[in-house]
């Protein structure tokens, strides 16, 4: 590791502490350089030798102008059919398949999509250049709610009624909408420089995809893994539909609250004899659906005996009420109970097995069932009574408790919000008008303890703004723990999958461990139908491979619309009669669609393979695509559809906050295309640590643009100094100076980094290594040192030939290594040097000769550069004192140890330090010589170079004093050769 010298110590001061403070000028004036002398002199009658200097020549401009240049390169790629050429070139090679997670075909791309696609493109191009055949088939997720919304919104604008449109017409419009945004996004991805089979992407709405998705569903159907169950969903009684979380908004709502007494009919504990369990609810209308009372097993309860009550109290003295210990006061206050006595404390677990009676028991002959007290861990003491009214139909927790204890899940409320026959006494009544009738019935049966109102946050429909209800509805599921043991298979698959970063494994694992059965149905229109029939008599779902095949074939030729446009009897064939069956019109959740792409795309397209080598998506997809693909594939094929999963974080703003329209901190990738260009965005992508959240903002982008300029100028310097290079000029490595061989050694370091860091997907480290190599090793050192040889050596000088040969290798390596990221700039540079070439992207990473590697040389040159740093440090002080400007005005004496002297044998330190002369000495350094704090054994006495400045190479040499035209002997020879 190189460290920069930072603290220069003046030994003079150290050795003479008693002299007191000296001014900087006093300290710095050495006796050997009288300040009165001119800083340097040139030959009096020098002619202009500029034209004889081999200055860099290139048409590769310093200014990138990416916003204009990139589209031109992209057009060229299109013309030459780059993607097809890539496939051709790589034919027969080992495949590397990154399977594209399909973005949703709605709206324009955002920063996150851009980041994702760029990372994918970098991975794919790296693998291709590492020698694999890396096809990339982009895809789109096309079905689903957001597109339905868009179309419905257009209807509303036109004043049309959605229900008046046929489902086929509606689906056609959804399809056209998706198609439109596929085109838009495709153009945007191409603008980012992403290569892929853009002419033949996959979509989940293609007819063969719809058929394929249905075929995947059928595998679950035929194996018996598809079942119809119920699930509590948010339901709008206005729109008569279930709503997704995204369609729900929360507003304050005033609810009538009630405290209700349930007679305990079978106590589990003597204390409960004759007592009443008290519940509290904000939804009186759910009372007919009550089937249980939940208690907290670890909470404390007690039975109170009412002794005195206030004027309007519904409580009666002598009544015994079971309540949560911490909530007694609060309930007493609400119920107007002024005096009471409290019985012994009962743990929640003591309530186990207690049975109560529904307060409506006997009402119109209904409610005769038992109401058990059940344990639930969500019961709290912050509100209510410590006993929770449980209506399995009307809430997530309630529903889960119902499932857990096998409670009846009644259909008490119809889709329009009216009570069904299963709510005796209230049939036909609308639930939003039910509070008072319910309360009246409770009062009549002496079951009401108190009432009140509460303002709280309550879910409302995003569209109608009407309050929502929870309602259990019929849904389709794939079991996690059925005969197929899907959960176990999925967990096993997770264990054998590589996750990058590794923590992704834990994340998806804990989700799979605890998730409920997979709900795959939606009550919508734009999707692949759950095209199954249920036998009316038995309620069994029809499992007949012939029916399945008829449906699948119809989907293949007509699309999934066939489910609605064809006569259902056609699918059933001759063996079944339609009137015996219920045709299911639910559609599949889009996660099932995209979760099936491994089957509909990887298995179907010959250029791909199953399983994929890699899935690469944002970390939200642990619950999304990684998850659904895993379940689908484990359910149908017994293993994960991928060998490895790479996740990246989210793009956040400069302060680390998420980007959102409401915060006004969003950046559009397409805007950045106009101001910066794709290569800047791509460089930003790889220089960030994608494992975490990725910041972007002005300062970050400015920094990226600076790094880009460094890389670009490195290429430009190489191109400029490589002008006219031809094979006869190439020099064998054995004949090269050590400096050149050191550069080649460094290339082998970088080559290693390219291969290893690409294997670990550690792009940030890789691009820092390349950038630092360009900045530190090349620009600040090698290029600076070799400028003299490039510009002034005669063209046949071995030194110059060696250096130009190295530039040639550098160019080959850097253009290849940068190509996956700076896709445009690398191409531009490559074509600048090889105008007849096809594309830099058709290349592979160069295979470097093993002989270039020379660890001993690297170690030696680490020391050489340390010594050099002491010299540049010394010169800097001279510069500060205005004794020199350019380093060529100096010819320092460098005092070194004997071991360093032998180390430097054959190395021209003056050349490396860019001084006109340099004397190496093992004699003890004078006390005032410069030393670097962190470099031992080196001291530098700065001296001015003697002689005159060569008018051509600008070195200050004594020999120039003898020259007739003001140039040195080397330049004389070089000029003569040019003239000849």
In 3-state terms, what secondary structure has residue 354?
coil
Binding flag, residue 382, RNA (CB under 7 A): no
Binding flag, residue 648, RNA (CB under 7 A): no
Stretch that binds RNA, among 326-334, 435-443, 463-471, 699-707 (CB under 7 A): 699-707
| The one among 503, 795, 899, 977 contacting RNA by CB under 7 A | 503
d(CA 917, CA 949): 12
Binding flag, residue 506, RNA (CB under 7 A): yes
- Identify which of residues 87 and 787 has a Cβ nearer to RNA in the complex: 787
Residues 790-819 that bind RNA (CB under 7 A): 791-792
Residues 655-684 that bind RNA (CB under 7 A): 656-658
- Identify which of residues 115 and 363 has a Cβ nearer to RNA in the complex: 115
| The one among 707, 803, 823, 894 contacting RNA by CB under 7 A | 707
Cβ–Cβ under 8 Å, residues 136 and 197: yes
| The one among 349, 699, 962, 969 contacting RNA by CB under 7 A | 699
What does each C-alpha distance from 461 to 109, 246, 435, 604 come to in angstroms?
Answer: 28, 10, 21, 41
| The one among 221, 391, 954, 974 contacting RNA by CB under 7 A | 954
What does each C-alpha distance from 275 to 134, 262, 265, 323, 355 come to in angstroms?
Answer: 73, 9, 9, 10, 11
Nearest 10 degrees: Cα torsion 24, 28, 31, 33: -120
Bridge partners, 535 (sequence order):
581
Residues 235-294 that bind RNA (CB under 7 A): 245
Nearest by Cα to 120 from 96, 142, 152? 96
Nearest by Cα to 960 from 917, 914, 909, 908? 917
Nearest by Cα to 943 from 904, 970, 967, 913? 913
Binding flag, residue 886, RNA (CB under 7 A): yes
| The one among 473, 687, 915, 963 contacting RNA by CB under 7 A | 687
| Exposure letters 921-937 (e unless 16+ CB within 10 A, then b) | eeeebeebbbbbeebeb
Minimum CB–partner distance for residue 812 and RNA (Å): 18
| The one among 885, 897, 977, 978 contacting RNA by CB under 7 A | 885
- Identify which of residues 157 and 698 has a Cβ nearer to RNA in the complex: 698
- Identify which of residues 292 and 701 has a Cβ nearer to RNA in the complex: 701
Sheet holding 612-618, edge to edge: 98-99, 612-618, 642-648, 498-500
Contact letters for RNA, residues 325-354 (x by CB under 7 A): ------------------------------
Nearest by Cα to 452 from 251, 314, 303, 304? 314
Binding flag, residue 853, RNA (CB under 7 A): no
Binding flag, residue 832, RNA (CB under 7 A): no
d(CA 944, CA 915): 10
Nearest by Cα to 966 from 979, 980, 977, 953? 953
Minimum CB–partner distance for residue 486 and RNA (Å): 19
- Identify which of residues 622 and 841 has a Cβ nearer to RNA in the complex: 622
Cβ–Cβ under 8 Å, residues 476 and 230: no
Stretch that binds RNA, among 294-302, 316-324, 816-824, 948-956 (CB under 7 A): 948-956
Would you state the structure tokens that stand for residue 454, as one six-digit string? 């509460």
Cβ–Cβ under 8 Å, residues 295 and 313: no
Stretch that binds RNA, among 649-657, 810-818, 825-833, 899-907 (CB under 7 A): 649-657
In 3-state terms, what secondary structure has residue 133?
strand
d(CA 712, CA 728): 28
- Helical H segments across 821-854, by residue range: 823-833
Residues 734-773 that bind RNA (CB under 7 A): 764-765, 768, 771-772
- Identify which of residues 44 and 365 has a Cβ nearer to RNA in the complex: 44
d(CA 956, CA 916): 5
- Identify which of residues 202 and 954 has a Cβ nearer to RNA in the complex: 954
Cβ–Cβ under 8 Å, residues 134 and 95: yes
- Identify which of residues 359 and 459 has a Cβ nearer to RNA in the complex: 459
Binding flag, residue 27, RNA (CB under 7 A): no
Give one word for 319, left, alpha or beta, with left for phi > 0 and alpha for psi -120 to 50.
beta
Would you state the structure tokens that stand for residue 625, as one six-digit string? 């695509």
Binding flag, residue 710, RNA (CB under 7 A): yes
| The one among 101, 324, 720, 737 contacting RNA by CB under 7 A | 720
Q: What is the 3-state secondary structure (H, E, C) of 65-130?
A: CHHHHHHHHHHHHHHHCHHHHHHHHCCCCCECCEECCCCECCCCCCHHHHHHHHHHHHHHHHHHHC
Residues 59-118 that bind RNA (CB under 7 A): 62-63
Binding flag, residue 911, RNA (CB under 7 A): no
| The one among 458, 576, 650, 725 contacting RNA by CB under 7 A | 650
Binding flag, residue 865, RNA (CB under 7 A): no
Residues 35-64 that bind RNA (CB under 7 A): 49-50, 53, 55-56, 62-63
Binding flag, residue 366, RNA (CB under 7 A): no
Minimum CB–partner distance for residue 868 and RNA (Å): 9
| The one among 709, 844, 853, 863 contacting RNA by CB under 7 A | 709
Contact letters for RNA, residues 586-625 (x by CB under 7 A): --------------------------------xxx-xx--
Binding flag, residue 940, RNA (CB under 7 A): no
How many residues sit close enough to RNA to count as binding (CB under 7 A)?
84
What is the C-alpha radius of gyration for the chain, rounded to an integer number of angstroms? Answer: 40
- Identify which of residues 331 and 680 has a Cβ nearer to RNA in the complex: 680
Binding flag, residue 714, RNA (CB under 7 A): yes
- Identify which of residues 57 and 166 has a Cβ nearer to RNA in the complex: 57
């Amino acid at each position: 590791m190189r460290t920069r010298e930072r603290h220069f110590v003046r030994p003079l001061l150290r050795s003479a502490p008693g002299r007191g403070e000296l001014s900087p000028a006093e300290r710095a004036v050495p006796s050997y350089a009288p300040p009165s002398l001119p800083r340097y002199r040139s030959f009096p009658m020098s002619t202009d030798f500029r034209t004889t200097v081999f200055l860099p020549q290139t048409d590769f401009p310093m200014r990138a102008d990416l916003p204009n240049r990139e589209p031109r390169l992209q057009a060229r790629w299109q013309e030459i059919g780059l993607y097809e050429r890539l496939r051709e070139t790589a034919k027969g090679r080992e495949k590397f398949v990154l399977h594209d997670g399909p973005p949703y075909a709605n709206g324009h791309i955002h920063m996150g999509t851009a980041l994702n696609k760029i990372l994918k493109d970098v991975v794919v191009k790296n693998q291709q250049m590492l020698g694999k055949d890396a096809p990339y088939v982009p895809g789109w997720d096309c079905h689903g709610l957001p597109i339905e919304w868009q179309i419905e919104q257009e209807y509303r604008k036109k004043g049309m009624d959605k229900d008046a449109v046929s489902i086929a017409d509606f689906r056609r419009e959804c399809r056209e909408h998706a198609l439109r945004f596929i085109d838009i996004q495709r153009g945007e991805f191409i603008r980012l420089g992403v290569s892929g089979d853009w002419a033949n992407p996959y979509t989940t709405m293609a007819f063969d995809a719809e058929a394929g998705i249905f075929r995947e569903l059928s595998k679950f159907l035929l194996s018996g893994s598809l079942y119809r169950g119920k699930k509590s969903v948010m339901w709008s009684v206005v729109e008569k539909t279930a709503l997704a979380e995204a369609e729900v908004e929360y507003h304050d709502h005033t609810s009538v609250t009630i405290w209700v007494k349930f007679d305990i009919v079978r106590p589990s504990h003597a204390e409960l004899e004759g007592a009443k369990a008290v519940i509290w609810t904000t939804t009186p209308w759910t009372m007919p659906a009550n089937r249980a009372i939940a208690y907290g097993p670890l909470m404390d309860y007690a039975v109170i005996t009412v002794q005195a009550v206030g004027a309007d109290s519904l409580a009666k003295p002598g009544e015994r009420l079971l309540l949560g210990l911490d909530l007694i006061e609060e309930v007493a206050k609400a119920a107007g109970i002024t005096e009471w006595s409290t019985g012994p404390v009962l743990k929640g677990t003591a309530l186990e097995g207690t049975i109560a009676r529904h307060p409506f028991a006997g009402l119109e002959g209904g409610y005769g069932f038992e109401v058990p007290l059940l344990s639930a861990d969500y019961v709290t003491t912050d509100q209510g009574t410590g006993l929770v009214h449980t209506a399995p139909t009307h809430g997530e927790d309630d529903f889960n408790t119902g499932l857990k204890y096998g409670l009846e899940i009644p259909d008490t409320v119809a889709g329009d919000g009216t009570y069904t026959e299963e709510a005796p006494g209230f049939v036909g009544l609308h639930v939003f008008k039910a509070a008072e009738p319910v309360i009246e019935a409770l009062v009549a049966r002496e079951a009401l303890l108190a009432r009140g109102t509460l303002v709280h946050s309550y879910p409302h429909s995003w569209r109608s703004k009407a309050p929502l209800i929870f309602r259990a509805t019929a849904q389709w599921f794939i079991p996690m723990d059925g005969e197929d043991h899907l959960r176990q298979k999925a967990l096993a698959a997770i264990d054998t999958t590589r996750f990058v970063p590794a923590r992704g494994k834990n994340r998806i694992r804990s989700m799979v461990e605890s998730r409920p059965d997979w709900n795959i149905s939606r009550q919508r229109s734009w999707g692949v139908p759950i095209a199954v029939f249920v036998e009316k008599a038995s309620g069994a779902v029809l499992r007949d491979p012939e029916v399945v095949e008829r449906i699948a074939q119809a989907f293949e030729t007509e699309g999934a619309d066939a489910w609605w446009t064809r006569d259902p009897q056609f699918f059933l064939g001759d063996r079944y009669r339609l009137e015996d069956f219920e045709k299911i019109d639910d559609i599949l959740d889009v996660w099932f669609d995209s979760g099936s792409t491994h089957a509909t795309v990887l298995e179907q397209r010959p250029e791909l393979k199953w399983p994929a080598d890699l899935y690469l998506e944002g970390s939200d997809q642990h619950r999304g695509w990684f998850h659904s693909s895993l379940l689908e594939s484990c359910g149908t094929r017994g293993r994960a559809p991928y060998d490895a999963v790479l996740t990246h974080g989210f793009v956040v703003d400069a302060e680390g906050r998420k980007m959102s329209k409401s915060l006004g901190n969003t950046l559009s990738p397409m805007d950045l295309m106009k101001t910066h260009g794709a290569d800047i965005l791509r460089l930003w992508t790889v220089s960030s640590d994608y494992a975490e959240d990725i910041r972007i903002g002005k300062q970050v982008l400015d920094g990226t643009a600076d790094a880009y300029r460094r890389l670009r100028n490195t290429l430009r310097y190489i191109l400029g100094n490589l002008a006219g290079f031809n094979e006869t000029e190439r020099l064998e490595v054995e004949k090269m100076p050590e400096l050149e061989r050191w550069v080649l050694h460094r290339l082998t370091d970088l080559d290693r980094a390219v291969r290893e860091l690409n294997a670990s997907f550690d792009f940030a480290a890789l691009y820092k290594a390349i950038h630092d190599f360009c900045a530190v090793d090349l620009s600040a050192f090698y290029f600076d040192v070799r400028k003299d040889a490039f510009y002034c050596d005669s063209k046949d000088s071995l030194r110059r030939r060696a250096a130009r040969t190295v530039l040639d290798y550098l160019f080959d390596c850097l253009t290849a290594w940068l190509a996956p990221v700076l896709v445009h700039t690398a191409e531009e540079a490559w074509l600048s040097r090889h105008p007849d070439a096809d594309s830099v992207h058709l290349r592979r990473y160069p295979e470097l000769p093993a002989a270039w590697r020379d660890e001993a040389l690297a170690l030696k040159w680490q020391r050489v550069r340390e010594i050099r740093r002491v010299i540049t440090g010394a010169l800097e002080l001279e510069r500060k004192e205005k004794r020199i400007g350019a380093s060529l005005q100096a010819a320092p004496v460098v005092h070194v140890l004997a071991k360093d002297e032998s180390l430097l044998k054959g190395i021209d330190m003056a050349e490396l330090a860019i001084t006109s002369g340099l004397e190496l000495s093992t004699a003890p350094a004078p006390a005032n010589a410069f030393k670097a704090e962190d470099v031992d054994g080196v001291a530098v006495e700065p001296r001015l170079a003697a002689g005159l400045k060569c008018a051509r190479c600008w070195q200050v040499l004594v020999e120039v004093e003898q020259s007739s035209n003001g140039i040195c002997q080397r330049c004389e020879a070089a000029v003569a050769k040019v003239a000849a």
